[in-house]
Structure 1
Amino acid sequence: MYSDSCLTIRCRSPHHSRNRSVTTTIPLEKDTVTATLDRTPVTRLKGVGPRNAEKLKRLDIETVQDVLFHLPLRYQDRTRITPMGAARHGDQTVVEGVVDHSEIRFGRRRSLLVHLSDGTGAVVLRFFYFSATQQANLSAGARLRCFGEVRNGPAGMEMVHPEYKLVQGDEPLAVEEHLTPIYPTTDGVHQLTLRGLSDKALAMLETRPDALPEWLPPEVRERFHLPLLPDAIRYIHRPPPDADQHRLFEGTHPAQRRLAFEELLAHQISLRQLRARSRQTPAPPLTGDGALRSRLLDGLPFQLTGAQRRVVEEIARDLRAERPMLRLVQGDVGSGKTVVAALAALQAVEAEHQVAFMAPTELLAEQHFNSLRGWLEPLGIEAAWFTGRHKGQKRAELLEALESGEAQVVVGTHALFQEDVRFHALGLVIIDEQHRFGVHQRMALREKGSIDGRVPHQLIMTATPIPRTLAMTAYADLDLSIIDELPPGRTPVTTVVIPDSRRDEVVARVSDACAAGRQAYWVCT
């Protein structure tokens, strides 16, 4: 999409050509706005009318650029003819030969058997669905070129419903010049249709190479050994016969890495833009006098670890600022994230603002509610619990408490997103395991707390171990704090992966633990 001053880039993953895309907007010089392929509707390609366009829309294909970024899932090698004597079970290959004879075999299912040979061996073509015309064309003496998967049959090698062509006269049919792409498809859109569209789109790119802008500077491409974007697109759609199919399948080919690099770059720029816009929006400075926090720390039966103290100070510094905090706190189960969140909540309450603590499930929300209630009630602060199960009078009372400001801290689930939930002065949003919600839901809760143009601060918590470099990439809109120290007496959490074939052993282990008076929990997803 475009305007007179900017262009929106959509980058697709080589592994998820349909399901995943990243967008970012880049300013353009005035003379750069030309008929780029993202502005060229797919109906400009010959053979695409309104009905086909509607079907293609289900694949997120609306422009010629979308066709180019609708990438193959895998490839078939139709560039060479395999002697039938060399064909092996499981091969997907091209064979060519003469029909010796054909017959209709009656059994559990009626089938047409076409016996084909080429002098080196023989293959039986088996058709369960066929017409009289098809049967006549596949009679003795006909020369066929077939593509399909070779299987072991009752009487030797066979292909079931192969693709085939009749070879007329003495002029040999040309083999494919490239590996044949297999695209993600949908009802009503055949592989041949998608290959034809990609042929036309590539031809358009050939005549208008500038219509697909190259955004990476030469020095970046040279540093990472990346091909030009049009070259990468052409290679992925039409790999040569000697292409490394293993690397293509694994997504590690330089042409695929070129697209992946651009996708990650677009993702990074998008999040940086989101972060920049967020920082332009004011937030209430939550200073507080520290009295409630001091009382909580004095009443705890344990001392905070050095890592907890460091993260608490990072959060406190952010909350005192007049721009919204966006911070991700990462720590193992048992590292003490909840008490860190409680101290952040008290800083907001000291500054006469409300706190919303959101968890993805009622079970987790209830656990956080019980922990917070045990810490906050001795300080004279009553925490509220708000989930979808609250109905009628109880729900009405909770909504009134939130809107009046009587409820200073509320713990809940997705129910906090609901339209009738209103806050008096929401200053801090705490979200546990934010990947279960998504950016849009997080932004929706932020907007719900907007008052006089000011938005609440956000603290995100996760126990998911995320490598720092990945966190910086995936959560570029967030500052990162890591609680990398367990409290004294806590043993490190051991995570193991066990195959489903050992489920009985897991059940027995859980049974033994319960019999010994310990507890276990089993989460079904």
Structure 2
Amino acid sequence: MERNEILDRLRRIIESLIKNDFALLPKTKHLEKTILALLSSANELPECFREELKKLFYGFDTLTLPEKKDRILRAKALLEDFAQGKYEPLQINELPDVDTFPTLDEYRLSREVLERSIDTVKGIGPKLAKKFAKKEVYTIEDLLYFIPRDYQDRRKVTPISELVEGESLIVYGEIIKSGPSHYGRRRVYEVVITDGSGYLYLKWFNFNEGLWRKLYPLGKRIYAYGEVSRFGRNFEMIHPEVVGDEEEEKLTLEIGKIVPVYSSMEGVSNKVLRKILKNALEEYLPYIPNLIPSKYLKKAGYLPLRTALEKLHAPDDNADIISLRDGRSIYHKSLAFEEFFFLELALGWRKGKLKEESGIAFNVHSKLVEEFLAKLPFELTNAQKRVFEEIKQDMARPVPMNRLLQGDVGCGKTVIAFLASLIAIENDYQVALMAPTEILAEQHYYNFRQYNQLLGLNVALLTGGTPPSRKREIYHGLKAGYIQLVIGTHALFQEAVEFRRLGLVIIDEQHRFGVLQRAELRAKAKDLTPDTLVMTATPIPRTLALTIYGDLDVSIIDEMPKGRKPVITKLFLEHNKDLAYELVKAELKKGHQAYVILPLIEESEALDLKAVLTYGEELKKRVFPEFKVEILHGKMSSHEKERIMQAFKRGEINILVSTTVVEVGVDVPNATVMVIEHAERFGLSQLHQLRGRVGRSDKQSYCFLIAYKVSFGSEAFKRLEILTKTTDGFKIAEEDLKLRGPGEFLGTKQSGYLEFRRADLVRDYDVLLKARECAFDLIKEDPELKKYAVIKEELFRRWKDRLKLLEVA
């Protein structure tokens, strides 16, 4: 629902209740549920505003009529202020106008305390410290960030006559029976309490009779909390939490409030954890520094870090328990904001520093480019021309280019990268292109070699598989400078690789390389900073573009070469897979070619080999006896792979059975159909990449996904169905990110530097946008952070290793 629509509905509900001196109010039921549901879906409204409104309606149905009228009038006033732009959040309103940051000495002392081991905390000995270590809690700071996983509402005592089966509630009563009972063969300790409105049975299956009789004598008054169930006609609670009337400390911790529930640990009750955390908060929370300037917290609508942590461990009595339990409260979001703020500050700092570095001002009027474009058998699309202009403008400036070139599969990024290379080479600089896998590096090498036949430049390929003698030649050629363009894998990072004059670094499939590798490859340029062009065919959702590539400028090729038709994608389940192969035969009879893709089975190379070989043989003999079928897999030598790929390109092979080695960069216009076996094992973005191998001409192309052990309408089925509905890589990437989360989406290598204590790139995207805006504002205001020495020190503490800040500083 749109923001205005929600506000409208709220206004109408409240006005109808106030009408005719609240005539409808006594007859209205379930108002609390209705309003809270409406506000929970109102993501368009500011967090603090929703929180404040929710508080007015929390527990509404149990209030007296005068109290209800008061809450309704307060809600009306709040809505009116908001509509007129006068609304000021309560808690955020209390933030100071002038910040009082700790001095550097105070900050360093706080760090020293927060980094101490948790066995220095009261109540935590070596044994318990080991249990905490299993939860990755090692320091006092980790302990303060050990956020509750859930919350129990123990604010109001429910009369026994009003208990509801299945709900967790709190009851107060006097013990009228206490002792063991028998249920069949089972011996149970049973306590019966009454509050005058009914009886409640409390039962324990594991007990020490002597101790239990002491704990629960007749006439004692107790509070019991637990899930209500029924046994016959009686209400009961199994293994409830019990607090006696006289236990003052426990009463303040456990009763009459929202109680935190922590992740369980073997042999440690939540009661014990609550006590430990209460002590830790009292003693150590003051050491948590609030480092984000108040003006940015006010602008974004979040709370200082210390307040957020305190309220997560000990929520106010009027807090909204629904958003606390969902992990979407203002306190959770304030923690995420703080983490994102420092990430974006790091990226803003990097971006600023890179712009200050002296780079190479290339002469971009290039004869080689003109000559090459004149010989190309096709014209560049408008999108390609626009992006090339953006790159030329960057290369002409005396600061290093840092550009991300995005575009869907088959949109023609390689040509643009080659054109940029020509400019660098004509200016007497060398170019390095790095790809994540050997087959990709080889693919680029063959593509560039074809382009190069038009021009006659010296191009080399350097991968782990390059023979030692050839490697020595390449090292020499790069150092002497007669190799103008080198294409390779991680081998380009090796110590022995030295360039005479590296001017342009091109990194393909950036997904698989972190910011660190970008810095390492650029370091090969010695005294000058080369231009960097990062290419990716995996469209990157905006969320990640703002984090992983927050220091890059972005160009997008959003247009396909003329005459291309979208690939038609169909999903088949195991029982009708033969139909897919019949459709493949129909394409082959038209003289077209096909791919059959198999997954890496369980990541085991040996198994993978067997799968491709055995399945390949089966396809040859049983399914396509009249066609030429060849097999391609990662264990083959480069020479063998190249021989098969070239034969497939020339049309000598009808069907290529392969593992995902054809994922990127292979270009066979006559291949019009692809079958992907076990499609359920691939990520959406990877399937989209594979699909991009067909549809590379003006012929209609098809992609058939075959899924196993997937039932119609299941989650896996719906996921694959997305591909049958769209060919837009950005939409697919967004869905993939939502489904798999950033760690899996990026691969673990890359996500290591995106580990947060609380923030989540997908769930907290709205928070990320605000954090980016505020952090970049701060860098704009004070690029060197001279006025904010403490913020600068914290920034470097968190991010210097993960983002190589010192290298660019």
Q: Identify the TM-score tier after normalising by the shorter chain.
A: 0.7 to 0.9
Partner in structure 1 of residue 315 of structure 2:
239
Partner in structure 2 of residue 401 of structure 1:
474
Partner in structure 2 of residue 33 of structure 1:
105
SS of the aligned residue for 2:532 comes to strand
* Residues in 1 aligned to 2:371 and 2:146: alpha-carbon distance in whole angstroms: 59
After TM superposition, give the deviation of residue 269 of structure 1 in Å. 1.1
TM-score by length of 2: 0.50
* Residues in 1 aligned to 2:246 and 2:271: alpha-carbon distance in whole angstroms: 25
* Residues in 2 aligned to 1:201 and 1:414: alpha-carbon distance in whole angstroms: 47
One-letter code aligned to 1:33? D
The within-5 A match list for 1:195-344 is 195-204=274-283, 208=286, 211-287=287-363, 290-344=366-420
* Residues in 1 aligned to 2:483 and 2:295: alpha-carbon distance in whole angstroms: 56
| Deviation larger for 415-424 or 327-336 | 415-424
TM-score by length of 1: 0.73
CA separation of 1:516 and 1:30: change in aligned 2, threshold 3 A? same
One-letter code aligned to 2:407? G
- 1:431 equivalenced with 2:507 (yes/no): yes
SS of the aligned residue for 1:33 comes to helix
The within-5 A match list for 1:79-478 is 79-82=155-158, 90-94=166-170, 102=180, 113-119=188-194, 120=198, 122=200, 125=203, 127=205, 147-149=225-227, 162=239, 164-165=241-242, 167=244, 174=251, 175-183=254-262, 194-204=273-283, 208=286, 211-287=287-363, 290-381=366-457, 383-388=459-464, 390=465, 394-398=467-471, 400-405=473-478, 407-419=483-495, 421-447=497-523, 449-451=524-526, 453-466=527-540, 471-472=545-546, 475-478=549-552
After TM superposition, give the deviation of residue 135 of structure 1 in Å. 7.5
**Are the aligned partners of 1:361 and 1:413 in contact in 2 as well (CA < 8 Å)?**
yes
Return the match for 1:481 from 555, 566, 572.
Answer: 555
* Residues in 1 aligned to 2:421 and 2:321: alpha-carbon distance in whole angstroms: 54
* Residues in 2 aligned to 1:399 and 1:91: alpha-carbon distance in whole angstroms: 73
After TM superposition, give the deviation of residue 415 of structure 1 in Å. 4.4
**Are the aligned partners of 1:205 and 1:212 in contact in 2 as well (CA < 8 Å)?**
yes
**Are the aligned partners of 1:101 and 1:140 in contact in 2 as well (CA < 8 Å)?**
no
- 1:519 equivalenced with 2:674 (yes/no): yes
What is the RMSD computed on CA atoms of the aligned residues?
A: 4.4
After TM superposition, give the deviation of residue 339 of structure 1 in Å. 1.5
* Residues in 1 aligned to 2:359 and 2:368: alpha-carbon distance in whole angstroms: 22
After TM superposition, give the deviation of residue 327 of structure 1 in Å. 0.9
* Residues in 2 aligned to 1:367 and 1:134: alpha-carbon distance in whole angstroms: 76
* Residues in 1 aligned to 2:581 and 2:212: alpha-carbon distance in whole angstroms: 64
The within-5 A match list for 1:10-29 is none
One-letter code aligned to 1:514? V
**Are the aligned partners of 2:260 and 2:274 in contact in 1 as well (CA < 8 Å)?**
yes
SS of the aligned residue for 1:380 comes to coil
SS of the aligned residue for 2:452 comes to helix
**Are the aligned partners of 2:445 and 2:487 in contact in 1 as well (CA < 8 Å)?**
yes
After TM superposition, give the deviation of residue 50 of structure 1 in Å. 6.8
Partner in structure 1 of residue 71 of structure 2:
none
* Residues in 2 aligned to 1:380 and 1:373: alpha-carbon distance in whole angstroms: 9
CA separation of 1:173 and 1:346: change in aligned 2, threshold 3 A? closer
After TM superposition, give the deviation of residue 309 of structure 1 in Å. 1.4
SS of the aligned residue for 1:278 comes to helix
SS of the aligned residue for 1:519 comes to strand
After TM superposition, give the deviation of residue 455 of structure 1 in Å. 3.4
* Residues in 2 aligned to 1:418 and 1:152: alpha-carbon distance in whole angstroms: 70
CA separation of 1:252 and 1:298: change in aligned 2, threshold 3 A? same
Q: Taking every aligned residue pair, what percent have the same amino acid on both sides?
A: 35
* Residues in 2 aligned to 1:401 and 1:196: alpha-carbon distance in whole angstroms: 66
**Are the aligned partners of 2:225 and 2:242 in contact in 1 as well (CA < 8 Å)?**
no
After TM superposition, give the deviation of residue 325 of structure 1 in Å. 1.6
After TM superposition, give the deviation of residue 303 of structure 1 in Å. 1.3
SS of the aligned residue for 1:34 comes to helix
| Deviation larger for 233-242 or 249-258 | 249-258
One-letter code aligned to 2:106? T
CA separation of 1:172 and 1:362: change in aligned 2, threshold 3 A? closer
**Are the aligned partners of 2:201 and 2:235 in contact in 1 as well (CA < 8 Å)?**
yes
After TM superposition, give the deviation of residue 315 of structure 1 in Å. 1.5
Measured against aligned partners, the alpha-carbon deviations of 1:348-404 in whole angstroms (never above 9, x if no partner) come to: 33334333333334554444344333222432246444444x16xx14523541453
Measured against aligned partners, the alpha-carbon deviations of 1:231-277 in whole angstroms (never above 9, x if no partner) come to: 32221221134422332244442233333333222112111222233
**Are the aligned partners of 1:84 and 1:118 in contact in 2 as well (CA < 8 Å)?**
no
CA separation of 1:425 and 1:92: change in aligned 2, threshold 3 A? farther
Higher helix share: 2
What stretches of structure 1 of length at least 5 have no aligned partner?
A: 1-27
* Residues in 2 aligned to 1:346 and 1:92: alpha-carbon distance in whole angstroms: 70
One-letter code aligned to 1:397? R
* Residues in 1 aligned to 2:184 and 2:148: alpha-carbon distance in whole angstroms: 39
CA separation of 1:290 and 1:256: change in aligned 2, threshold 3 A? same
SS of the aligned residue for 2:403 comes to strand
**Are the aligned partners of 1:77 and 1:179 in contact in 2 as well (CA < 8 Å)?**
yes
Partner in structure 1 of residue 122 of structure 2:
46
One-letter code aligned to 1:486? M
One-letter code aligned to 2:412? G
**Are the aligned partners of 2:122 and 2:280 in contact in 1 as well (CA < 8 Å)?**
no
One-letter code aligned to 2:283? M
**Are the aligned partners of 2:202 and 2:240 in contact in 1 as well (CA < 8 Å)?**
no
Measured against aligned partners, the alpha-carbon deviations of 1:202-249 in whole angstroms (never above 9, x if no partner) come to: 32367x4xx444334444333333334433222122113442233224
**Are the aligned partners of 1:83 and 1:118 in contact in 2 as well (CA < 8 Å)?**
no
* Residues in 1 aligned to 2:472 and 2:210: alpha-carbon distance in whole angstroms: 73
Measured against aligned partners, the alpha-carbon deviations of 1:80-101 in whole angstroms (never above 9, x if no partner) come to: 4556676556544445675665
Q: Tell me the matched-pair count.
A: 481
CA separation of 1:240 and 1:371: change in aligned 2, threshold 3 A? same
**Are the aligned partners of 1:73 and 1:182 in contact in 2 as well (CA < 8 Å)?**
yes
One-letter code aligned to 2:521? L
CA separation of 1:34 and 1:368: change in aligned 2, threshold 3 A? same
The within-5 A match list for 1:48-63 is 48=124, 61=137
* Residues in 2 aligned to 1:284 and 1:139: alpha-carbon distance in whole angstroms: 82
* Residues in 1 aligned to 2:262 and 2:450: alpha-carbon distance in whole angstroms: 56
